[in-house]
Amino acid sequence: VETDTASNIREPSLGEAIGWAVSIYAMCVVIRFISVHLHFPILRSIGYGMSWQEAIVISWSGLRGAIGLALALLVNLDTAIDRVVRYEVLLFTSVVVILSLLVNGSTTKMFLVKLKILKANSVKQQFLLHSISEMEEYADKHCSHLMHDPLVGDPDWEKVLEMSTINANALL
């Protein structure tokens, strides 16, 4: 363990630093759960509303850290900040980003399946069916217009219409 004599900041070992970084990741997850829990009454009552299952998924899947990583890179470039502090900020942020991608990102689907969030309620199903109907009507209208456009050439219009059809049952 070295000490930077210019600022008397102790330089931690790599193992210590990674331990702190993992602890910071865990704290970020806990803080996110607390934050969503505290705001849940508001989130439940606005818009379409939020179920407790959706709140769990939002709490778990929300960390990624692109902005945090960009800010950590800016801190790392600032030579007015102590070298050890710059190193720790970049390491801690990078570990949080990597863990949130690997742990949270790879397990989010499991949460969605276990909590049965992938099933749309009747309002969402009706909205989806209406949206698909509108899109297909729009596509049919423009395809029939394009069939007479000499600049389009001579595509297989049956195949074009088949490929532009959305199977709503597969989505529900």
Tokens at 109, concatenated: 């689907």
What does the alpha-carbon distance between residue 102 and residue 33 come to, in Å, rounded to a whole number? Answer: 18
**pLDDT of amino acid 6:** 52
Report residues of the chain scoring pLDDT below 70.
1-9, 63, 171-172
Q: Where are the domains of the chain?
A: 14-118, 125-170
**pLDDT of amino acid 117:** 82
**pLDDT of amino acid 172:** 66
**pLDDT of amino acid 160:** 85
pLDDT tens profile 30-75: 999 999 999 999 988 887 788 899 899 999 987 677 888 999 999 9
Radius of gyration of the chain (CA): 25
Task: Name the DSSP letter for residue 1.
Answer: -
What does the alpha-carbon distance between residue 79 and residue 86 come to, in Å, rounded to a whole number? Answer: 9
